[in-house]
Amino acid sequence: MRRSSLLLLVLAGCSSEQVLEHDLEPIALARAPVEPGGATSGGLLAQVSTVAGLEPLLVDSGFPLDSLARNGCASPVAPGWTYSGTLDVRDGVATGAPVRASFRNVGLFDLCPGPSGDATIQAAGVLGGPLLANFIVGLELPRDATSPASMTLWPSLPGSDDQLAEAGFAILHFDHRGSVSIAQGTGEASLTLPSTRVAVAACAAPRAFATTEAQETCARGEVALKASGQELMLAVGTGEGPLILSESAWQRVAAQLGVAAAAGTAGDLYTPFSTSATAARWVDLPRLALFQGTTDSTWLGACTELARARRIEWALANQASGVCFQPCDASGSSAVATRPYLELGGSLRVAVVSDSSDLIRSINADVPPWPEIDGIVGAGTLAGTSLRLDYLGTPTGRVIAVCEADSTRDRCWAAPSCAGASAKGQNCFGLTAAGDTTICP
Amino acid sequence: MLRSRRHFPLAALAVPLLCTRAVAGPLDDARVADSGFSGPTSGDLASIYWNPAGLGLLQGPQIMLGGAWQSTSVAVERASIDPTTGTSPGPTTFPSASGSSTLHPFRWPPGSSGFFAIGAGIGHRFGIALALYSPFSSALTMKPTADGELPTRYHLVDMRFDHTALATGLAIHASESIQLGVVPGFLFPSAHLVLDEDTALGRSGATLEDPGMAARYDLASSGLRAPWYFLSLGAHYRRGRFSLGLAYTSAPLGTGGLIALPMNDVQITPPGGAPADLCVTPTSGCPVGQLRYRLPSIYTLGATWTANEHWSATGIVRWLRYGAVDNITVLVSGPAASPVLGTTVPDHIVLYQGFRDSFDLRGRAAYEAKHYRLAGTLRLESSAVPASHVNAAAIDGWKLEPQVAGEFRVWRQVRLTAAYTFTYMFPVDTGASVFNPQAATACAAAGGDLTTPACQARMNGQARPSAAGTYHMWRQAVSVFTSFGF
């Protein structure tokens, strides 16, 4: 059965071309609850037509495959394996669910994902990473749960990193991850899924910050010592609602927060990675800063980079008072470049799940030689932002982020890279450098 | 745009040969390296453009320098429209609009209508060359009418497309009568595009083509960008008095002919606004854009019959592989804090072009004496743009073009060639224009349903103000080339 399906898939690929038809207008998306009974600002939902009628279609950047259950998910017919078919993405909100994108002759898995958000939201398929990776995916994720989200599929995005940073966008580079071989059963032929997962570094639970606070001092060599928060590596999963953390990651964060590792409320997490509810413990996180997922020779880690960016921002905000940049943030007579980041605040819902859960094991199936992924940052956590997932960027992908209009800093703060805080006229953190700020002795 | 097709590897290899599409309008410059004598069977430095194999006929070191001054004029008589539907006919009439352009080599970036090449034949076995030229160029500026209106504003106000090629050529003698040649090259595009977008499109009950609702998009590239790559292959056969040349020039490689050109100088004037409206603060950045379009691949076939020591006749066919359906996509992004972009004014515009393959046929008779040559050429070119698709940004029809040329030996191996060309395009009456502004309204009413014809039209860039009318075009060109032999 599976062998013939695989053969059909291959033949389909050779004899016909994949057609990705879409326009450049936004596609309205509904949202699943972040948690059972929670705010409907969670996983993104389009609609799809199946034999059972209109059903939800999950839009999940974190899901490693594209799927559509040909017989719907209410049917008792056993799912198949793979096939070449059509995935019509329908408006997730409008009555009549107009077709807003059509992907024809694409490879699909004939399976149902797990419920999204709560047990009642059963998607018939997933528009996952492999299809999304053909585009730059623009996502508008309103904080207001009553407003629909939207997705726009772009063929490219104008502007270099510098231009976009100047325009106010935080550019978080990432390596594509997730390539893994899968098989329907032991000893059967396997398929290799492409690397489409967006993984970014994060600093969980850093201390609060305000440019009106007292200056943080930092001597040369102390840059890492002044960091606060817990380093994490997170996948961006728009089909999920909350921030999902492995138990081991949460224990590190809890230690940072000074709360008991067992804190929280027991409950269920409904995620496309598992067809049944995943046991979870629900807790709240005060803030989370997302950084690039790539590393280089000067990368210090998310929390250290966050602390550095805040110190340099503080100096710029208080430059009229004759302050100086801290020595640990200087190279020669200039402040070093800061890394772009997106800081999310408020009460962020976190689902803590077992390290051995389907979800955590799945997102780490490609671990070697990559760093372990500690969890997924879901659409509910990202509510209040506008994102563009640039899968097409070379040599690395980019998450291009900005906060929705009227965001307050404690809820959302997008900080582009600041590469010239010492230079007169340089615009960083919404501030203009006077150019006379020196390095502290 | 927006159908992207992805092939398996074998199919992908075939794409450049079989599936090349074009969106950028009839960009082909028929005057490139056209001294009035050059072609796929000639053996001079212009062969690097016409047929790389011709480089194998070079004798000794040579330099060729020249260019054309081309003046193009157009006239557009737009059909009347009904302002409530935007379709023709109706009570709103338009005065006749005119436009013009001049292409010449003396500008930056270089290459437009110019040609410079240096090369050498080596031991009757090899020919090598290096050249700078612009294989694809197009320019047109529409002039305001007496009452200050721009009847073609929603399709074109001003445009200039240049593609400077820096190419190296190599040809070898495969046998006494057969030469083979190859030209890998870099292509440096630059562009400037100005047009208006009717922000009332898609709004039920709105008056269409109201200048007060027009947003002006002015996008320009800056400097030379990272190049695209192309490849030309050619073969030349000569036996007795007969010569045959065949060449293929690819569209940009690796992208299916697609050019994605950054437009770093972008000004968008919202309806009733000023350009600065989209720059939130002077230091927070202004919009940046990108222009996405495709270039054609070209097949060239030529044959020359040398009747005697004085007279020869040449026939040339060029097959320009434009696609059947295509468009230009304008994308704009930033600044993040702008409340206008993406709401009051669109952050993208799709301009339908809808080209088809075109054929360029030339017949030439040449007379050669000891110190001079004379030639007369008649060119006939089919239209790359179906009549109903014609608009100010893509004016094309059947064209007839007589040309006279003379070449004189100034001193020893120094030759001067001059040619005059007049191009007449038979007037094109579009009939019912493919551009249908009602499609925008119908698509909006359908919730953007791509299964509806209206939304297919919007997706393809046809849901725009009508371009119905009659289009005229004529062009004069004077070209001068100098060649030096050593």
DSSP string, A248-267: HHHHHHHHHHT--TT-SEEE
Domain layout of chain B by residue ranges:
9-485
The whole-angstrom distance between B460's CA and the closest CA on chain A is: 8
Rounded distance between C-alpha atoms, residue A210 and residue B78, angstroms: 61
Tally C-beta pairs within 8 A across A and B: 135
Sign of the CA dihedral running B19, B23, B29, B30: positive
For domain B9-485, say whether CATH 1.10.287.610 is its number.
no
Question: Do the chains contact at B446 and A98, CB–CB below 8 Å?
Answer: yes
Residues A62 and A191 in one domain: no
Are the beta carbons of A319 and A381 closer than 8 angstroms? no
Six-digit token pair at B215?
């947003």
Question: Do the chains contact at B331 and A158, CB–CB below 8 Å?
Answer: yes
Residues A97 and A209 in one domain: no
Interface check B459 vs A, CB under 8 A: yes
Cis peptide leading into A327, omega within 30 of 0? no
Bridge partners for A261 per DSSP: none
Which chain A residues touch B if contact means CB-CB below 8 Å?
13-14, 17-25, 27, 91, 94, 96, 98-102, 134, 153-160, 163-164, 166-169, 386, 402, 405, 414, 425, 427, 430, 432
Residues A20 and A105 in one domain: yes
DSSP code, position A436: -
Residue of A22, A98, A153 lying closest to B449 (CB–CB): A98
Residues A122 and A194 in one domain: no
Q: Is the pLDDT of residue A79 over 70?
A: no
Residues A38 and A113 in one domain: yes
pLDDT tens for A322-365 read 899 999 999 988 999 999 999 999 989 999 999 999 999 999 98
The total number of structural domains in chain A stands at 2
Six-digit token pair at B272?
């009733």
Residue of A14, A18, A102 lying closest to B6 (CB–CB): A18
Report which of B415, B452, B412 is spatially closest to residue B42, judged by C-alpha positions.
Answer: B415
Rounded distance between C-alpha atoms, residue B417 and residue B425, angstroms: 26
CA–CA distance from A246 to each of A116, A278, A337, A351 (Å)? 19, 12, 32, 8
The whole-angstrom distance between B83's CA and the closest CA on chain A is: 25
Question: Do the chains contact at A158 and B337, CB–CB below 8 Å?
Answer: no
Residue of B8, B263, B332 lying closest to A13 (CB–CB): B8
What pLDDT is recorded for position B124? 81
A11 falls in which pLDDT band (50, 70, 90)? Answer: very low
What pLDDT is recorded for position B293? 93
Interface check B289 vs A, CB under 8 A: yes
What pLDDT is recorded for position B331? 96
- HSE, CB side, 13 Å, CA atoms: give it for residue B347: 25
The phi and psi torsions of A109 (rounded to 5 degrees) equal: -95, 135
Rounded distance between C-alpha atoms, residue A62 and residue A237, angstroms: 4
Six-digit token pair at A308?
């550095």
A8 falls in which pLDDT band (50, 70, 90)? Answer: very low
Rounded distance between C-alpha atoms, residue A401 and residue A389, angstroms: 9
Residues A211 and A357 in one domain: yes
Report which of B49, B44, B64 is spatially closest to residue B414, judged by C-alpha positions.
Answer: B64
Query: Which chain A residue lies closest to B258 (C-alpha atoms)?
Result: A155
Residue of B287, B331, B339 lying closest to A156 (CB–CB): B331
Question: Do the chains contact at B337 and A427, CB–CB below 8 Å?
Answer: no
Question: Do the chains contact at A168 and B284, CB–CB below 8 Å?
Answer: yes
Residues A73 and A209 in one domain: no
Bridge partners for B76 per DSSP: B97, B471
Question: Do the chains contact at B284 and A167, CB–CB below 8 Å?
Answer: yes
The whole-angstrom distance between B350's CA and the closest CA on chain A is: 9
- CA end-to-end span of chain A, whole Å? 73
The phi and psi torsions of B137 (rounded to 5 degrees) equal: -145, 145
Residue of B287, B447, B450 lying closest to A94 (CB–CB): B447
Residues A295 and A411 in one domain: yes
Q: Which residues of B418-437 are buried (b: 16+ CB within 10 A; e: fewer)?
A: bbebebebeebebeebbbbb
Task: Please indicate, yes or no, if residue A153 is contained in any of the structural domains.
Answer: no
Q: Is the pLDDT of residue A15 over 60?
A: no
Task: Please indicate, yes or no, if residue A280 is contained in any of the structural domains.
Answer: yes
Residues A102 and A199 in one domain: no
Residue B286 CB contacts under 8 Å (≥ 6 apart), including other chains: A167, B266, B267, B278, B279, B334, B335
Of A106-120, A129-143, A171-185, A400-414, minimum mean pLDDT range:
A171-185
Residues A95 and A195 in one domain: no
pLDDT tens for B66-93 read 999 999 999 999 999 999 888 889 999 9
Its domain, for residue A63, covers 2-136
Query: Which chain B residue lies closest to A25 (C-alpha atoms)?
Result: B448
More confident residue, A42 or B12: A42
Query: Which chain A residue lies closest to B291 (C-alpha atoms)?
Result: A158
pLDDT tens for A355-408 read 999 999 999 987 566 778 999 999 999 999 999 999 999 889 999 999 998 899
Q: Are strands B311-321 and B327-333 parallel, antiparallel or unpaired?
A: unpaired
Q: List the alpha helices (DSSP H) in B44-111.
A: 47-50
The whole-angstrom distance between B53's CA and the closest CA on chain A is: 35
Residues A8 and A64 in one domain: yes
Question: Do the chains contact at B450 and A100, CB–CB below 8 Å?
Answer: yes
Question: Do the chains contact at A23 and B459, CB–CB below 8 Å?
Answer: yes
Are the beta carbons of A85 and A68 closer than 8 angstroms? yes
What pLDDT is recorded for position A61? 97
Query: Which chain B residue lies closest to A415 (C-alpha atoms)?
Result: B336
The domain boundary, picked from A108, A136, A164, lies at A136
What pLDDT is recorded for position A186? 61
- For residues A119-133, give the mean pLDDT: 95
Residue numbers in A near B285 (CB within 8 A): 163-164, 166-168
Q: Which residues of chain B fall short of a pLDDT of 70?
A: 1-26, 108-111, 275-277, 280-285, 324-325
Residues A282 and A382 in one domain: yes
Residue of A18, A91, A156 lying closest to B292 (CB–CB): A156
What pLDDT is recorded for position A367? 59
Residue of A23, A99, A164 lying closest to B2 (CB–CB): A23
- Alpha-carbon Rg for chain A, nearest whole angstrom, is 22
Q: Is B256 left (phi over 0), alpha (psi -120 to 50) or beta?
A: left
Rounded distance between C-alpha atoms, residue A162 and residue B371, angstroms: 59
3-state SS, residue B314: strand
E strand spans, A76-161 = 82-90, 99-109, 125-127, 136-141, 149-154
Residue numbers in B near A167 (CB within 8 A): 284-288, 333-336
A437 falls in which pLDDT band (50, 70, 90)? Answer: confident
Question: Do the chains contact at B3 and A19, CB–CB below 8 Å?
Answer: yes
What pLDDT is recorded for position A12? 37
Q: Within 10 A of A80 (CB to CB), how many other CB atoms are there?
A: 18
What pLDDT is recorded for position A74? 73
Helix, strand counts (H, E) of chain A: 6, 28
Residue numbers in B near A134 (CB within 8 A): 4, 6
The whole-angstrom distance between A56's CA and the closest CA on chain B is: 17
Residue of B4, B450, B458 lying closest to A155 (CB–CB): B4
Single-letter amino acid, residue B220: A
The whole-angstrom distance between B103's CA and the closest CA on chain A is: 29
Q: Is the ipTM of this complex over 0.95?
A: no
The domain boundary, picked from A118, A136, A154, lies at A136
The phi and psi torsions of B430 (rounded to 5 degrees) equal: -70, -20
